[in-house]
Amino acid sequence: MNALAATSRNFKQAARLLGLDSKLEKSLLIPFREIKVECTIPKDDGSLVSYVGFRVQHDNARGPMKGGIRYHPEESGIDAHFEVIADSSGPTPILIFNPIIRDSFSELKYVSSACSEIEVDPDEVNALAQLMTWKTAVANIPYGGAKGGIGCAPGELSISELERLTRVFTQKIHDLIGTHTDVPAPDMGTNSQTMAWILDEYSKFHGYSPAVVTGKPVDLGGSLGRDAATGRGVLFATEALLREHGKSISGQRFIIQKTATCRVHIGRIASIVQLCRDTRQLLTRGKEVGEWASRGVELAGEGFGNVGSWAARLIYENGGKVVAVSDISGAIKNSKGIDVPSLLKHTIEKRGVKGFNGADPIDEKSILVEDCDVLIPAALGGVINRENANGIRAKFIIEAANHPTDPEADEILSKKGVVILPDILANSGGVTVSYFEWVQNIQGFMWDEEKVNNELKTYMTKGFKAVKEMCQTHNCVLRMGAFTLGVNRVARATALRGWEA
């Protein structure tokens, strides 16, 4: 089940529990606005190239819309084709993206008739925009949901090309975003520098407006504590859940799963393919192996990811035992506990967890079913599904990623008694601190990091308590408690504003 279908299914179940009017229910599902623009820029070599930029603005009943901007090849909405091929150097089949790359292999002796066509799911962005609406409502911050980006491969563009592309995109949408309209933030393939360019270009039209984006550099009004916010929010949410069950972080065994990818080689060429079921998203196209390091590929450089690494660090500092982690390079395990500070140092030096001396390598596919108390999937969606749900031995699952658990797996795990803290609560620390940044920018008064962290803990703890109350009211699991809470808050705001007028 893809992300949009799963999100819509959860929404409809929550709507039934709440007894929403059918017309209001339909209104809440339809996006407020969908924007698609052409972005043409000169490349460094003088040639012109065009990209498609987009923005889905889902709902603004509770405040300005909020959500990330991603730069990613999939966002163009084109079909991606994979073929199983092999060369004369060995019999091992590999996956290669795109007929253009396939045709460059003049010495291929064999091309299999086996071919898989993967249609890039255009509904995912719509689902993520919708999910942000419910997530901000669960966190009780005054936003609605949005999502957007540009269909490009940022690793193939120079810094100056990325800047030109960002500025052209901003020129096309500047009258549709704004401090009290729609506030973008970084996402896959973008960062604080991207936000700085958007801020600067937007300010040319509207005057200096630091609150138009969040996730900015601190020197331009970014908030202290933002880098660690999602991981720290995961910690606070986990503490609240474990406290409810008479436990604490200390002494619990944790597994942190970052991503499930496969890197395979043909000569000097590597193709990295995301293996998420159903969505099956393509991460990037084939490149020479040496280029990955020179271009500073974010996934490898992050080790087991910003969210995963911060969650591991904070769990370790609070007495938790991290027994296994994975990332793009592989997976490792130490049942006695991994020395997380040493591991983090290793991932920076070696671009991944592979080869870490303080743990044993294990099969990446097995990490989700290793024995632990708390499993934290921090990868892309769909990693927990009906194929592996029966094998999961964790007592608690904390969804640090968006949509890591398929609905079919939800049902299986629920019957097993596994408690799942859903993504719209567990990973809301990032957008919550983005809200703090927005508030600081509007007030022109910046907070110290201690205040940011204390306020984040307050919001995450209150959010968990509110979800639990909805679970008791509607006799449902945490995921449906979170959805009923978020949907109810948005529905009430919509009705109060007079949605039928």
Catalytic residue selected from 36, 43, 109, 147? 147
Distances (CA, A) of 184 to 2, 192, 209, 243, 484: 24, 11, 13, 34, 26
CA distance 325 to 340: 10
User: Would you say 135 is a known binding-site residue?
Assistant: yes
User: Would you say 306 is a known binding-site residue?
Assistant: yes
**Other CB atoms closer than 10 Å to residue 151's CB: what's the count?**
19
User: Would you say 230 is a known binding-site residue?
Assistant: yes
362: CB partners within 8 A, 6+ apart: 324, 331, 332, 333, 370
User: Would you say 321 is a known binding-site residue?
Assistant: no
Asked about 147 being catalytic, the answer comes back as yes
The full DSSP string for 315-346 is HHHTT-EEEEEEETTEEEE-TT---HHHHHHH
Beta bridge partners of 272: 263
Distances (CA, A) of 223 to 52, 196, 302, 443, 448: 30, 13, 21, 13, 9
The single residue listed with the structure tokens 């506990």 is 337
Residue 416 is encoded by which pair of tokens?
A: 């097993």
The full DSSP string for 357-387 is TTSEEE-GGGGGGS--SEEEE-SSTT-B-TT
Residue 175 is encoded by which pair of tokens?
A: 């009258």
CA distance 351 to 333: 18
Would you mind telling me the total number of residues written for the chain in this entry? 501
Residue 228 is encoded by which pair of tokens?
A: 């660690």
Residue 436 is encoded by which pair of tokens?
A: 């703090």
The full DSSP string for 111-148 is EEEEEEEEE--THHHHHHHHHHHHHHHHHT-S-EEEEE
Residue 470 is encoded by which pair of tokens?
A: 């909805």
So which residues are the catalytic ones?
A: 147
Binding-site annotation: residue ranges for substrate: 66, 135, 434
Binding-site annotation: residue ranges: 66, 135, 230, 306, 434
Binding-site annotation: residue ranges for NAD(+): 230, 306
